[in-house]
Amino acid sequence: MTVRSLLVGVGSYLPERIVTNDELSERLDTSDDWIRGRTGIRQRHIVGEGETAVSMGARAAQRALDFAGIDPLEVDAVILATSTPDQVFPATAVRVMNDLGVKNGFGFDIAAACSGFIYALSTADAFIRAGNAKCVVVIGSEVYSRILDWSDRGTAVLFGDGAGAVVLRATDKPDENGVLTTHLHADGSTGDILYVDGAVGVPNCSAHLKMNGREVFRHAVGKLASSVDEALESVGMTYADVSWLVPHQANIRIIDGVARKLQMPKERVVVTVDRHANTSAASIPLALDEAVRDGRIKQGDLVLMEALGGGLTWGSALVRM
Ligand code: UT7
């Protein structure tokens, strides 16, 4: 009997406060024209007092559980991707379990930067396929506003805060829905082009995000396109089979570049980077939630997800909704 993971719930959370490009231009040597032209970003959401990776992750996960109609007591695991945990430990996931009332499961965090959601989805799917869990909540929750150097125009304008979540449930029914395949990659030799400088207790570090944007860009389109090819080839499908591309939302030029390589028309690409900016591990589940709830993504659609982030890490996932 083959067990697979069905994606049965989606949810997300964005902080109320919106910061526009014009607002940033008042404090930085930048402009709405530059930010929009180079990235597609118009605005970002930034956490308010008391909002954290735990609080936003719990809100997104609760919405995903409500969507699925699943009680927290049925959840076997919570896997949360973040680069901005509230604490070194307990894991953000375990704090979220407590907020949700998940009492019968296990939980842990995944640190794979902007690829975190794909890594978490792949891990959750592996637990389900192995028979070690039947219901897993997968979350990406990020507070990048906390790790930005707000005086560095090269990075401060690019990121935002938010959280997204999905619920996976085991099925042994012989239909073709669910997580079809996931593919993960990492290359530590590129660790210095995108990183956070330091950790708790490490002397002489800024704890700020540092990026060589041009270098990251150079790696992004090629690595993402080959990861997407790998996913489709592994299940004997082609670009023509894909209903929706739900990419990591870092830069509209990267999204367009990958879409062009896939010959995906713009109408079939879910884009939120204009309103959310780059929310790292939260960006894919935030985009997925938006497109499911507004009726674009429907049951039976084939959804292709891809992401690249610090590490470098990158990967892809194909899900039949
Ligand atoms: O999600 C994790 C993965 N991250 C990414 O995928 C990000 C990938 N990289 C990018 O998206 C782009 O490289 C950026 C948006 C970060 C930068 O765009 P770019 O077209 O690569 O610009 P650039 O870094 O080559 O900079 C061009 C110019 C520079 O000035 P000079 O040296 O040509 O005089 C920068 O100093 O733009 C300047 N610049 C700015 N100007 C106004 C850099 N940031 C800003 C700014 N406002 N905010």
Full DSSP string of 268-303 = GB---HHHH-B-GGGHHHHHHHHHHHTTSS-TT-EE
Residue 278 CA to ligand 1 center (angstroms) comes to 14
Q: Is 210 in the pocket of ligand 1 (CB under 6 A)?
A: no
Tokens at 237, concatenated: 């499908």
- Give the integer Cα–Cα distance in Å for 282 and 14: 10
User: For residue 176, what pLDDT band results from cuts at 50, 70 and 90?
Assistant: confident
**pLDDT for res 211:** 98
Q: Is 157 in the pocket of ligand 1 (CB under 6 A)?
A: yes
User: For residue 216, what pLDDT band results from cuts at 50, 70 and 90?
Assistant: very high
251 Cα nearest atom in ligand 1: 11
Q: What is the residue-averaged pLDDT of the chain? A: 97
The whole-number average pLDDT for the span 14-19 is 98
**pLDDT for res 241:** 96
Dihedrals φ, ψ of 195, to 5°? -160, 165
**pLDDT for res 175:** 76
Q: Is 30 in the pocket of ligand 1 (CB under 6 A)?
A: yes
The whole-number average pLDDT for the span 209-230 is 96
If you compute the radius of gyration of the chain from its CA atoms, what whole number of angstroms results? 18
* SS3 category, 35: helix
- Residue pair 203/194 in contact (Cβ under 8 Å)? The answer is no
Residue 40 CA to ligand 1 center (angstroms) comes to 12
**pLDDT for res 17:** 98
Q: Is 212 in the pocket of ligand 1 (CB under 6 A)?
A: no
The whole-number average pLDDT for the span 88-110 is 97
